[in-house]
Amino acid sequence: MTTTPEPAAPASRGAVDLSALGHAPAPAAGTGAGPAAPEASRPPAGSWSRPVGQQDFADLMQLSARVPVVVSLGSARLPVSAEIDAVLASAVDAQAGRLVLATVDTDREPAIAQAFRIQQVPAVVALLNGQPVPMFQGAAAPEEIRALLDELVQLGVQHGVAGTVPPFSQGGGGEEPALPPLHQKAIEAIDAGDYEAAAAAYRQALAEKPNDADAQTGLSQVGLLQRTADLDLQAVRQAAAEHPDGLAEQLAVADLDVVGGHVEDAFARLVAFIGRHAGEEREAARQRLVELYAVVGVQDPRVVKSRQALARVLF
């Protein structure tokens, strides 16, 4: 759901208190105008986006007095987070320094999500002069994202935040380890929208190494992308509401909920369905739920909690 950016009222600053983030020990400042990035995670020159942690927020708050800072809060376990970050990065880079993008993995940086009072991911907010500006939560179409960023730039002009900054530099750190060839092939196929080729690459990786957990997770993620690629959100939700005991309808809306970041809703829906049914329908819903657990990550607290609920309805 998208929302038109609005500046936070001065009196509401305390409602979302980001000050504690700025008190985390900060790394040594870099030579560029932007905040210093962890050496191993900086993007190539020419990019105005990079991952950040709690220690970077003092610099980000300062930078937001020069240009709007877009903060994307997501999870590496959710395909929709990567998709949103890719669209945001492209759109921010197209602004040539009038915006910067900070991406946050909330699994690693829960304090940042708590500071912004984020209830679900993915979520995107912005910082203007150190103040939070809500943008959108869940999935959004690329054209909607670009339109919101254009509005954010104009909002910055209105509030005197209309500078430009150079791109984040490469830095002197090492590059991330290369992916195994079949994994890289799968990622490239996903980027090209060829989910069948991506699934084939992951299946081949599993055939060569049956205990390849990353390949199994990737295969589950690709399956989710395949199932939801052509679904109409409104139609799926209406069908699920009209057919609460329809297996296909409930599976489809659960898939879309995970893609959109509504993970707990998806899990609760399927657990409830399993609790009401028996036989083949019950087993099909259970298998889909287990597959969605793999997509989100078996160590995720939401998965752990849902497994407990599933055990109660099964046993």
Domain residue limits, the chain: 10-158, 181-314
Phi-psi group of 193: left, alpha or beta (phi > 0 → left; psi -120 to 50 → alpha; rest → beta): left
Q: Which residue's entry shows tokens 């210093």?
A: 36
CB 7 within 8 Å of CB 145? no
Judge if the upstream peptide bond of residue 210 is cis by omega within 30 degrees of 0: no
Q: What is the pLDDT of residues 101-149, one digit of tens each?
A: 999 998 888 888 888 888 888 999 999 888 899 999 888 888 899 899 9
Is the model's pLDDT at 26 over the cut of 50? no
Q: How far apart are the first and last CA of the chain?
A: 38
What number is the average pLDDT over the span 9-36? 36
Is the model's pLDDT at 1 over the cut of 60? no
Sign of the dihedral through C-alpha 150, 154, 160, 166: positive
Question: Read out DSSP for 197-250?
Answer: HHHHHHHHHHHH-TT-HHHHHHHHHHHHHHHHTT--HHHHHHHHHH-TT-HHHH
CB 47 within 8 Å of CB 168? yes
Q: Any idea which fold 181-314 has?
A: 1.25.40
Q: Specify the DSSP element, H or E, that contains 175.
A: none
The domains spanning 10-158 and 181-314 adopt the same CATH topology:
no
Amino acid (1-letter code) at residue 8: A
Identify the bridge partners of residue 101 per DSSP, sorted by sequence position.
49, 70
Strands 69-74 and 123-128: antiparallel
The overall pTM is greater than 0.75: no
Read off the pLDDT band of 170 (50, 70, 90).
Answer: very low
CB 1 within 8 Å of CB 136? yes
Name 13's Cβ contacts closer than 8 Å, sequence gap at least 6: 131
User: For the ranges 240-244, 288-292, 296-300, which has the lowest average pLDDT?
Assistant: 296-300
Q: Could you tell me the CATH superfamily of domain 10-158? A: Glutaredoxin (3.40.30.10)
User: For the ranges 36-45, 138-147, 156-165, 288-297, which has the lowest average pLDDT?
Assistant: 36-45
